Chain A
Amino acid sequence: MNTALSWIKAYVPDLKCTDQEYMDAMTLTGTKVEGYERRDKNLEKIVVGQIESIERHPDADKLVVCQVNIGSEVIQIVTGAPNAEVGMKVPVVLDGGKVAGGHDGSPLPENGVPIKAGKLRGVPSAGMMCSIEELGSDRNFYPEQPEDGLYVFPEDTEVGADAVELLGMHDTIFEYEITSNRVDCYSLLGIAREVAATFKLPFVPPVIKETGNDEDAGSYISVEVKDPDLCPRYTARVVKNVKIAPSPKWMQRRLAASGIRPINNLVDITNYVMVELGQPMHAYDLSTIAGKKIIVKRANDGDEFVTLDGQTRKLDSGMLMICDGEKPVGLAGIMGGENSMITDDVDTVLFEAATFIGSNIRKSAKRAGLRTDASGIFEKGLDPRNAEVAINRACQLIEELGCGEVVGGIVDVKEPLADLRVLPFRPDKYNALLGTDISEEDMITIFEKLELVYDASARTLTIPSFRQDLVGQADLAEEVARFFGYDKIPTTLPGGNALGGLPHKLRVEAKARDIAEYCGFSQAYVYSFESPKVFDKLLIPADSPLRQTVTISNPLGEDFSVMRTVSLNGILTSLATNFNRRNANVRLYELGNVYLPKSVPVTDYPDERMQFTLGFYGDGDFFTMKGVVEEFLDSVGLSEKRTYTADGSLPFLHPGRQAVITYKGEKIGFLGELHPQVCDNYDIGDKVYVAVLDMPAVVPFTSFDHRYEGIARFPAVSRDLSMVVPKTVTAGQIEEVIEQRGGKILEECKLFDVYEGAQILTGYKSMAYKLTFRAKDRTLEDADITGAMKKILNGLESLGIELRS
């Protein structure tokens, strides 16, 4: 929404403020001004001059030398304008002045174009005569500007007058962001009303007078609304003996300032009313309306219709049409039809001002692929009472402009209008909600300024129909707050004490971040939706339940169409980005959900499971990653035995270098080396190691409790165990035996050497452990150690392990 300050001032005549003051004040009362532009910001020293004589330039065929009367004196100006004639009155920029741009209409320079006296091909020139383009506009808005050459003022224009003023360019255009609840502010009058309330000045809207001859519109046209659910009100009036002509300059100037191109008096009036009152209108050539009858009804599926832009539109039964006795003549609220278009030889015009249901207009405009100024306003949902005001205003302008003879009466088909809303006036409630101490009188003044009617005896407020947003007490409190000033409301803090904090789950996640970062991993953020092709990239079999997804029905594209069920793709894609950009040794982690549907199709909340995902390439191997996992598990209190099972079940990992992690019998995650095929699929030319911890499985075991167990007071005894072990036996199996059989006095068993090679029998490996024994309450004796070692050795023998000599 844009408005010209000059037009606002027509209804708030006492308004005096700078552009910046206007912007700040309006923004603080809720009509947010996004910005403004002075139309004359680069127009300086420009007056009306009259060409008194024209002579040929001695040295240039295309230039002429003019003597121009600028009121105070006659100056010489050299020009190349093809339309220069003696007697013509034109805008003249004097020496030291400025214009907005060049005559070719190219984009305007930010600081304009300075004009200085000088010589053109040797002949002195004291200024410049200009076209409308040089003044920063164009023929669309100033249709009287000739196609090529100087702008020409009417003959009766005073020589020496301010040309910028005459062109209506001493004006500022304000641009607003209007919120969706304030339908009334999509009109100039609506904004002017807010201006008057903001600056506490009188609001002087136009007075709409009765119009029309003694005929009755009803004898020209009948209206039937077959679908009142989409059209609560349809008003029609008739104008005969129409004389199409340009509209007066003041109307053209106001439209131009609103960014609307003047066309002719009839079209301009409908546009003027739309801007002024926020009610779009339409004009039909009555002679094209078959049966002198308007029928408002839904279209049939598959119908076609040619709108007045010449385009054929496909219709459906959700779209509302304006039809005559035989055929559709307009796509309701969006655009009229080519078949009923006003032409220059029109004699009788049918005016339409109707109310359509906003949501239907929005959907129809979208389906028809045609969003117009009118539909943009209709879709906000208009006040049915405004339709009548608007059509009468249009007829008034017809009469004032001498544009035709208005036929008396109005054809008005409507659903019963809702009564005006009446709300109790509860000043205590407003102060209690706002935390203020505003007097009743001040509140009433604010409400009355907004045209709410206060009834002192009933203590009620009657809400004007254009304020459909004022429904309850909170809405009224906001009106008080807006004009009292949000900035004047005090600042306090809520009373009472409360304990804040992070829930346990989020504390575990915070710890995960800490540990990952201690271990050199940086945090990644990735999208939750991805392509279904990800499953193929990760080699997930066709029948895997992981392919059951929460699927988006209107995604941005296939690449963002399914909610992830495995977290790896994000981290792998990010690692690939880094790898391709030659970043060495990159370690990333991510905390984000996977979304597992409980059933497909989805009918309920999916299971959102937080995944702690780590991945790296470069320095390190499987055991580096295993170390990170263990650091994390240690730090959140999963300090008992973690089991790593290598069952080769994860298709995206190296079959021989992967493990499922279990804790107290629960699967809590997995880790491993990425399958080389998956590396290829992601274009990562290095080994990648990943780990994923399923946080909902981890969190129940976590604890931040600590217990001091004392520092050992008695000496430890250690024994080295050097063994030849069949290759198939894992360290995990050996440690299980040692831990089970070592008993309470076994403090630690630590692998310190693994060797496979020449000196060892094929099918075997050499492994060496250091076992440490200690008792809490005494110094161990030889017998204790010998006993424990014997048990351990027996156990190891049963695994086919022999001691090395």
Chain B
Amino acid sequence: MKEALNAIRQQAMDQIKEATSPEKLNEIRVAILGKKGELTNILKSMKDVAPEDRPKVGQMVNDTRAEIENVLEEAKKSLESALRAERLKAETIDVTLPAQKMQLGHRHPNTIALEEIERVFIGMGYEVVEGPEVEKDYYNFEALNIPADHPAKDEQDTFYVNGDILLRTQTSGAQVHEMEKGKLPIRMISPGRVFRADEVDATHSPSFHQVEGLVIDKNITFADLKGTLVAFAQQMFGAETKVKFRPHHFPFTEPSAEMDVSCFKCGGKGCRFCKGEGWIEILGCGMVHPHVLEMCHIDPEEYTGFAFGVGLERIALLKYEIDDMRLLYENDYRFLKQF
């Protein structure tokens, strides 16, 4: 009996070793362990074994069966894993073939610049408000301390609808609308479209965009204006950016300043981009003129404030190195897709 079992085991091991496919392994399983298999046949001959030996023989048969099953299972796993490896190898792709993109659209550089500006100021607690593009003379000029015979009101600069209604030349009118609401303190920016009677060329457009800023509260100082705009410049153009304030004149602010930033291309050493100066003029700003406050029924002895205005196209042209303003309004896809 024992010999017979050993013979079966040996035969099974030899056959398994030679098997090259799962199908073959299955045949071996059926031939040995199946209902009509050799090992099953031995079990059937148990009736010839002495009753006292039966448990022992039974144990031997089961051990042999378990042993064969184990080896079979392992052989199967190893065969399958070899087959999978082969298949994976065959499935190798060229990962450098082109991507199938979703063909997303592209945002206009003006909007990209605007969203950056908004992000910075919203982070500093500013609300974004809008003002009308077709504006009344009072809001565009008079309330901003620009008297009736000021050169800025000349027809050559301003598009008029009639004597009283015009296309706003600056977003500063939004300041006045906001102050007139009578809700203090104010901390706002107002982006929008403005119009000037300039012929179209590489650096001019009769329609462009500004972002106006206004803060009104008790104890607002010129130092606050400086600190705010330094923070803006550094978030917009990089933490290394240096800032220079030059005295200037605007009718609606006093003191007034223009702000230059160190050239963000050359870091201030001077390059073609900043015309060798190392500085780039970015915006105009100042402390809100007391007369402007008074016209909006705000007491300049109690409240002070600052205002600033940034040209959006100017930022976009500088930041993204666009050399011709006309590109911004042509909407050629080959231009837009670069943003």
Contacts and interface: CB of A to CB of B under 8 A. Distances in A.
B161 interface: yes
B129 interface: yes
Interface string B186-204: 0100000101010100000
B77 interface: no
Contacts of B118: 502
B206 A578 contact: no
B227 A493 contact: yes
B247 A29 contact: yes
A457 interface: no
Interface in A499-546: 499-503, 505-506, 513, 516-529
Interface in B107-122: 107-108, 110-111, 118, 121-122
A233 interface: no
Given A516-B105, A522-B108, A552-B159, 19 more contacts: A28-B247, A362-B154, A434-B223, A435-B224, A436-B222, A474-B289, A482-B247, A482-B255, A491-B227, A496-B217, A500-B127, A523-B336, A525-B108, A526-B331, A554-B155, A574-B330, A581-B332, A595-B134, A605-B136
A220 interface: no
A604 B121 CA distance: 32
B6 to A, nearest CB: 58
A179 B249 contact: yes
26 contacts: A179-B249, A182-B249, A359-B149, A472-B290, A475-B254, A478-B247, A486-B246, A490-B227, A492-B221, A498-B126, A498-B127, A498-B185, A498-B187, A499-B125, A500-B127, A503-B127, A513-B107, A520-B105, A526-B329, A527-B206, A527-B329, A529-B207, A552-B161, A554-B197, A602-B165, A606-B134
B119 to A, nearest CB: 10
Give chain B's interface residue range (CB within 8 Å of chain A).
35 or more
Contacts of B140: none
A523 B130 CA distance: 20
A32 B247 CA distance: 8
B105 A494 contact: no
B255 A474 contact: yes
Contact of A578 (B247, B257, B332): B332
Contacts of A553: 160-162
A728 interface: no
A577 B226 contact: no
Interface in B92-108: 102-108
A171 to B, nearest CB: 22
Interface of A: 27-30, 32, 179-182, 358-359, 362, 379, 432-436, 472-475, 477-478, 481-482, 486-487, 489-503, 505-506, 513, 516-529, 550-556, 560, 563, 574, 577-578, 581, 583, 586-589, 592-593, 595, 601-606, 608
A490 B304 CA distance: 17
A275 B177 CA distance: 43
B237 interface: no
A563 B247 contact: no
Contacts of B224: 435, 492-494
A560 B206 contact: yes
Nearest to B111: A523
A29 B246 CA distance: 7
B219 interface: yes
Contacts of B333: 522, 578, 583, 586, 588
A577 B327 CA distance: 12
A527 to B, nearest CB: 5
Interface in B241-275: 244-249, 254-257
A527 B207 contact: yes
Contacts of A490: 223, 226-227
A791 B55 CA distance: 74
A603 B111 CA distance: 32
A27 B245 CA distance: 10
A111 to B, nearest CB: 16
A494 B220 contact: yes
B247 A552 contact: no
B246 A30 contact: yes
Contact of B105 (A472, A493, A521, A574): A521
B254 A486 contact: no
A608 B132 contact: yes
A494 B254 contact: no
Given A433-B287, A500-B127, A556 B331 contact: no
Interface in B206-245: 206-207, 215, 217, 219-224, 226-228, 230-231, 244-245
Centre residue among B149, B331, B336 by max chain A CB count within 10 A: B331
A788 to B, nearest CB: 39
Contacts of A473: 290
A605 B132 contact: yes
B269 to A, nearest CB: 15
Contacts of A578: 331-333
Nearest to B199: A556
Contacts of B123: 500
Given A482-B247, A494-B220, A583-B334, A502 B329 contact: no
A21 B123 CA distance: 39
B226 A489 contact: yes
Contacts of B134: 550, 563, 595, 605-606, 608
A497 B151 CA distance: 40
